[in-house]
Structure 1
Amino acid sequence: MDTFFATRSPDIGPIDPDWTIDALVEWLSDDARQHDPALRLPLARIEAELTGARWTGSPSTVALIRSIADAVIGDPTIRDIRIRELACAAPEPTDSSSPEHLLQLA
C-alpha cells in the first residue's frame, strides 16, 4: 500500500483556472470525463486543497469527483472559489521573486 498525496504544482491539465468549483463540478458531470485518467492528478491536487484528504492508494477520478462534490455539499461557500485561488493552481515562485533573492538585492 502506498500513500497518495497530491503535491503542489501549477499543472492542472485541461481545467481552466478561472472556473469556480461549481463550474468544475458541472464540467465533470459529463460521463466521459469521469473516467478520464488524465484528470486524476489535477483533480487530486484540487481535492487535496479543498479537503486536505490523504488517500491510501491512488484514488480514481470518480472517487476524487465524489469527494469534491461532497465538500461542496458540506460547505456551499466552496462553490464560488476559483481554481486559480487554490495553491495547486498558483505558479511556483521563480528565483527572482523568492524572498531569498529579494534579501540578496538589499
Structure 2
Amino acid sequence: MNTHFASSPSEPGPINPDWTIAQLLEWLSDDVRQHDVTLQHPLARIEALLTGARWARTPSTVALIRSIAAAVRDDPARGSIRISELSPQQAPRMSERIPQLA
C-alpha cells in the first residue's frame, strides 16, 4: 500500500483520509506502527467515530487498533467505509470502556 501524508491539520496525520478502514488496518499491520504514539490521537478519533466508544482512560495504540479490527470483524461492511466518510452523526453510542489487563 502506498503511504500518504495528510497535509491539513484537520486530517489525521500520516493516515490518508481516502483509505478505507480495511486499508487502514492493513497499513497498521506493520509492528512499528502498532506502538507509534503519534498515531494515538488520530486512531482514537477514527475509533470513536467508527464504534461510538468512550474510554475511561486514554487507550493505547494497540487497544485502538484491536477495537477497530473488532468492529470490522463484527460488521465486515465497516471495512469498506472511507475514513473521510466517518461522521459523529453515524457513530453508534456505546457505554464507557474500561481497559482490561491481559
Category of TM-score, reference length = shorter chain: 0.7 to 0.9
Measured after TM superposition, the shift of residue 10 of structure 1 is 2.8
The TM-score with structure 1 as length reference comes to 0.72
Greater relative contact order, per chain length (Cα 8 Å cut-off, separation 6+) = 1
2:17, 2:58 → 1: CA distance?
Answer: 24
Measured after TM superposition, the shift of residue 87 of structure 1 is 2.6
Which ranges in structure 1 are unaligned for 5 or more consecutive residues?
1-8, 89-106
**SS of 2:31's equivalent?**
coil
The TM-score with structure 2 as length reference comes to 0.75
Report percent identity of matched pairs. Answer: 66
Which ranges in structure 2 are unaligned for 5 or more consecutive residues?
1-8, 89-102
1:32, 1:51 → 2: CA distance?
Answer: 24
Measured after TM superposition, the shift of residue 86 of structure 1 is 1.2
RMSD: 1.4
1:83, 1:10 → 2: CA distance?
Answer: 13
The structure with more helix, counted as a fraction of residues: 1
The code of the aligned residue for 1:67 comes to: S
